[in-house]
C-alpha cells in the first residue's frame, strides 16, 4: 500500500489526535480469529493487521472529562449568563457506543465512554459540533459487520468468514476478521466480502474455491491456465481472470429417435445413451469449450454463455451419432430378417438346402450353427461391436480432451410401419409353430414314458414268477432228500399221501390187514385214475 496511514492516539492533555505512521511491509501475526478460510490470503501476505484492535478499550477516542453534577452547574451558569451557552457542549455517551465530533477546524474525533468519568463530556468551544446519535460498537451478528465513518476516522468490524476490502489511493487493502481503526485521508473502506462463494472478486484479486471433480479455466494475459480442483486459488492481478468451471464428472446423455440407414437401405429409428467425461481439461478448454465472454458484432448485445458446456456436449453427441450410424450401416436387415424373427421366440433358425446324393430331390432342413446364431443375435446389441463404435468415436473426441465411455442402444426399429407389421406377423407365425412343435414333442415323450412303464412292470412280474418257481423246486428237492434219509419218515409220508389220495377219491373202502395191496385197489378205482390222467 502506498502512502502513510495514521493510527489514532489520544492526547489526554488537550484531546487532540496525533498521527503515527506505519509502513506497508508489516508481517502478519497469528491471531485466534484467523481460520483456514484465510490460508491462501495469508500465504500471499495480503491481509493487513496494522489497525486491528484486540478490544473496545483499545480504540482511540476521547475519554469522559466531566461529571453529571458539574454539567448541571455549567448549565445553570449558562442560564445566569446566556452568552456562555453558545460555548458549552455537553454530552453523555453510553457504554459500548461512540459519537462523532467535529472540532470546527477541519478535524474529526470520536468521543466515547471510558476512564474514571466514563461517558460524561463537557467542552467549552463554540466551534465543536457533536452529533446527537450514538453509534453502537456491537455488530449484533450482522452479516455486513460494522462501519463507522467520521471524516478521515474509521472504525470497521469484519465478521468471521468475511474479509474487509479497503482502497488506499487505488491500491487494495484486505482486512482480516476483527475490529479495525485507522485515520487516513486516502484510505476508504469499501465492503465486507463473504468468503463462502466459489468466485470472490476483491479489487484486482480473485479468490477461487474449486470443488473436487471440477477444474477452473483462467486466462493469464492471454494464456489459458487450468487450476485443479479440491483447492483454493488466488489470482493475483487484474489480467489473470477467471473464465469458467469445467466438470470432470461422468455425463450421460440421450440420443433420442435418431434416423440411421442399414446396409440394405432400410431406415431405422434408434434410441441410445452415451456416457462420456472430460479427460484433459487443458486440451478441452483450448480446442472445444467456450471460454471467453464477448459481445462481438451481435446487435442484441447479449454475452455468450461461457459458463456451460453446451457446445462441447453437442459436439460429443454428434460424434456419437455418427459412430452409431457407422455401426448400423454394416447391418443387412433383409438377410437377417427371418433369423432375427426366429430368435425373438427362442428358436434356432432353419436353413433349407438340397441334400446331395439323395434320391428324388429330397430336401434337408438343418439348423444354423451356433456361431451364425450368435452373429444374428448380436447385430446391434453385441458388446464387442458397440466397443468398436466407442473406439471409432474416441478417435475424434480424444483430440479435444473428451473420452466416450460407452454407447448403448436402447431400442432400434424400422421406420416403415408396413415392415413392422410384417415383422410382427413373422414373429406370431414362428411362435405358433414352436408351440405346435412343443406340444408334439410333449405327447411323444409321454407315450414313450408309458411304454417304458408297462415294459418294466411285465419284466418285474416275470422275474417274480421265475423266482417263485425256483423257490418251490428247491423246497421239494430238500423235502425229498430228507425223506430218503429216514425210513420212518418215508412210511409216514406214504401214509400221509395215501390218506390224501383216499380223501380226494372220496372212497369208503375198508382196508384189510395187508397194506401192500392198497396200490392195486386204488388203480382199480376209475375216479382216481381219471384224476391222475391215466384214463379218459
Range in 81-95, 244-258, 271-285, 337-351 the model is least confident about: 337-351
pLDDT at 363: 37
Instruction: With cut-offs at 50, 70 and 90, classify the pLDDT of residue 167.
Output: very high
Buried-state track 367-399, b at ≥16 Cβ within 10 A, e below 16: ebeeeebeebeebbeeeebbeebbebbbebbee
pLDDT at 2: 38
β-strand 17-22 against 108-112: which pairing, if any?
Answer: unpaired
Q: Tell me whether residue 140 is in a domain.
A: yes
Query: Which triple of cell numbers denotes residue 141?
Result: 451478528
Q: Tell me whether residue 83 is in a domain.
A: yes
Look at the chain and report how many structural domains it folds into.
2
pLDDT tens-place string over residues 186-206: 999 999 998 888 999 988 999
pLDDT at 511: 53
Q: Tell me whether residue 475 is in a domain.
A: yes
Instruction: With cut-offs at 50, 70 and 90, classify the pLDDT of residue 4.
Output: very low
Q: Tell me whether residue 484 is in a domain.
A: yes
- Per cent of the chain over pLDDT 70 is 70
Q: Tell me whether residue 495 is in a domain.
A: yes
- CB neighbour class for 234 (10 Å; exposed up to 12, middle 13-18, buried from 19): middle
Q: Tell me whether residue 374 is in a domain.
A: no
The count of residues in the chain is: 536
pLDDT tens-place string over residues 395-417: 999 999 999 999 988 887 777 77
Q: Tell me whether residue 298 is in a domain.
A: no
Angle value at C-alpha 167, between 162 and 171, nearest 5 degrees = 115
Decide which of 144, 176, 196 is a domain's last residue.
196
**Of the spans 411-420, 467-476, 477-486, which averages the highest pLDDT?**
467-476
Decide which of 178, 196, 214 is a domain's last residue.
196
- pLDDT of 50 > 80? The answer is yes
pLDDT tens-place string over residues 363-386: 344 444 444 444 434 566 777 778
pLDDT tens-place string over residues 67-120: 999 999 999 999 989 888 899 999 999 998 999 999 999 999 999 999 999 999
pLDDT tens-place string over residues 494-515: 777 677 666 666 655 555 555 5
Taking phi over 0 as left and psi of -120 to 50 as alpha, with beta for the rest, 141 belongs to left
pLDDT at 480: 72
| Residue range(s) defining the domain that contains residue 163 | 5-196
Distance CA 233, CA 216 (A): 9
Q: Tell which residue, 148, 142, 134, has the closest CA to residue 180.
A: 148
Q: Tell me whether residue 141 is in a domain.
A: yes
Taking phi over 0 as left and psi of -120 to 50 as alpha, with beta for the rest, 265 belongs to left
Angle value at C-alpha 134, between 130 and 140, nearest 5 degrees = 155
Range in 207-216, 383-392, 410-419, 451-460 the model is least confident about: 410-419
- CB neighbour class for 76 (10 Å; exposed up to 12, middle 13-18, buried from 19): exposed
Decide which of 196, 211, 232 is a domain's last residue.
196
Amino acid at each position: 500500500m502506498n502512502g502513510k496511514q495514521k493510527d489514532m492516539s489520544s492526547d489526554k492533555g488537550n484531546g487532540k489526535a496525533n498521527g503515527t505512521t506505519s509502513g506497508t511491509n508489516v508481517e502478519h501475526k497469528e491471531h485466534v480469529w484467523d481460520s483456514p478460510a484465510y490460508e491462501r490470503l495469508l500465504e500471499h501476505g495480503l491481509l493487513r493487521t496494522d489497525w486491528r484492535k484486540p478490544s473496545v478499550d483499545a480504540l482511540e477516542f476521547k475519554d469522559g472529562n466531566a461529571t453529571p453534577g458539574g454539567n448541571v452547574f455549567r448549565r445553570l451558569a449558562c442560564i445566569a449568563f446566556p452568552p456562555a451557552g453558545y460555548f458549552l457542549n455537553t454530552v453523555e455517551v453510553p457504554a459500548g457506543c461512540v459519537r462523532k465530533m467535529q472540532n470546527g477546524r477541519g478535524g474529526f474525533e470520536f468521543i466515547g465512554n471510558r476512564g474514571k468519568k466514563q461517558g460524561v463530556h463537557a467542552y467549552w468551544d463554540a466551534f465543536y459540533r457533536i452529533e446527537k446519535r450514538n453509534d453502537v460498537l456491537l455488530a449484533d451478528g450482522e452479516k455486513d459487520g460494522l462501519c463507522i465513518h467520521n471524516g478521515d476516522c474509521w472504525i470497521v468490524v469484519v465478521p468471521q468468514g468475511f474479509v474487509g476490502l479497503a482502497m488506499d489511493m487505488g491500491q487494495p487493502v484486505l482486512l482480516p476478521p476483527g475490529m479495525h481503526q485507522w485515520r487516513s485521508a486516502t484510505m476508504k473502506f469499501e465492503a465486507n466480502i463473504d468468503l463462502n462463494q466459489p468466485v470472490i472478486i476483491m479489487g484486482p484479486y480473485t479468490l477461487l474455491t474449486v470443488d473436487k471433480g471440477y477444474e477452473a479455466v483462467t486466462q493469464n494475459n492471454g494464456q489459458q491456465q487450468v487450476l485443479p480442483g479440491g483447492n483454493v486459488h488466488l489470482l493475483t492481478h487484474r489480467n489473470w481472470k477467471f473464465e469458467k468451471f469445467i466438470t470432470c464428472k461422468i455425463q450421460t446423455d440421450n440420443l433420442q429417435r435418431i434416423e440411421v440407414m442399414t446396409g440394405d437401405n432400410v431406415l431405422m429409428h434408434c434410441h441410445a445413451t452415451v456416457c462420456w467425461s472430460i479427460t484433459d481439461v487443458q486440451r478441452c478448454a483450448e480446442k472445444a469449450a467456450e471460454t471467453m465472454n464477448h459481445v462481438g458484432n451481435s446487435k442484441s448485445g447479449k454475452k455468450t454463455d461461457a459458463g456451460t458446456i453446451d457446445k462441447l456436449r453437442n459436439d460429443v453427441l454428434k460424434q456419437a451419432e455418427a459412430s452409431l450410424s457407422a455401426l448400423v450401416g454394416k447391418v443387412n436387415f433383409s438377410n437377417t430378417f427371418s433369423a432375427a424373427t426366429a430368435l425373438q421366440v427362442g428358436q434356432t433358425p432353419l436353413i433349407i438346402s438340397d441334400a446331395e446324393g439323395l434320391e428324388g430331390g429330397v430336401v434337408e432342413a438343418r439348423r444354423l450353427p451356433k456361431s451364425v446364431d450368435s452373429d444374428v443375435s448380436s447385430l446391434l446389441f453385441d458388446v464387442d461391436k458397440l466397443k468398436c463404435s466407442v473406439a471409432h468415436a474416441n478417435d475424434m473426441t480424444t483430440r479435444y480432451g473428451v473420452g466416450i465411455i460407452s454407447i448403448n442402444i436402447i431400442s432400434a426399429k424400422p421406420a416403415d410401419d408396413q415392415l413392422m407389421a410384417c415383422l410382427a406377423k413373422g414373429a406370431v407365425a414362428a411362435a405358433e409353430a414352436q408351440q405346435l412343435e412343443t406340444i408334439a414333442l410333449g405327447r411323444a415323450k409321454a407315450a414313450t414314458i408309458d411304454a417304458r412303464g408297462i415294459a418294466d412292470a411285465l419284466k418285474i412280474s416275470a422275474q417274480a414268477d421265475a423266482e417263485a418257481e425256483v423257490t418251490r423246486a428247491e423246497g421239494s428237492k430238500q423235502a425229498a432228500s430228507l425223506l430218503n434219509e429216514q425210513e420212518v419218515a418215508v412210511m409216514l409220508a406214504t401214509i400221509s399221501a395215501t390218506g390224501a389220495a383216499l380223501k380226494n377219491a372220496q372212497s369208503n373202502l375198508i382196508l384189510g390187514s395187508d397194506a401192500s395191496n392198497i396200490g392195486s385197489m386204488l388203480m382199480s378205482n376209475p375216479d382216481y385214475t381219471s384224476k391222475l390222467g391215466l384214463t379218459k
